[in-house]
Amino acid sequence: MKVTEKDVIYVADLANLELTEQEQVSLAKDLNSILEFVGRLNELDISDVPPMAQVSDHYGALEKTGSEKFAHTLRPDLHKASLPRDAALQNAPDSNGTFFKVPKVIEK
């Protein structure tokens, strides 16, 4: 499947991006290059490669299974006080005293 400039313009419009003509051409070229590489990867014989649930077994001890392997990578969930509302709103450019006020960014 080849990505056309029309496809790039459509996706850029969905993402609310303004691209120059040069950026449209460049992006279409880059996306086609990525798809070509993925196509080359799809040609590899992976019939002898077992499916994996995780990308790496690097974490945890080999003798542990499942979530036990990753138990040491999680930090404890500690309860601590959050920033007081007054302090959070102190440097806000605009607020109503309770919430931040932000400008509308979606035009469509």
CATH number assigned to the domain comprising residue 40: 1.10.20.60
Count up the domains in the chain and report the number.
1
Read off the pLDDT of residues 79-93 as tens digits, 9 standing for 90 and up.
999 999 999 999 999
* Residue 7 lies inside a defined structural domain of this protein: yes
Half-sphere exposure of 44 (CA within 13 A, CB side): 9
* Residue 34 lies inside a defined structural domain of this protein: yes
Query: Given CA atoms 14, 16, 21, 22 in this order, what sign does their dihedral have?
Result: negative
| 15: containing domain | 1-46
Q: From CA 13, how far away is CA 27, in angstroms rounded?
A: 14
Query: Given CA atoms 39, 41, 45, 48 in this order, what sign does their dihedral have?
Result: negative
3-class state of residue 39 by DSSP: helix
What are the distances in angstroms from CA 11 to CA 18, 39, 100?
11, 22, 31
Read off the pLDDT of residues 1-52 as tens digits, 9 standing for 90 and up.
799 999 999 999 999 899 999 999 999 999 999 999 999 999 999 999 887 7
pLDDT of residue 63: 65
* Residue 25 lies inside a defined structural domain of this protein: yes
pLDDT of residue 15: 92
**pLDDT reading at 99 higher than 70:** yes
> What does the block give as tokens for 107?
């035009």
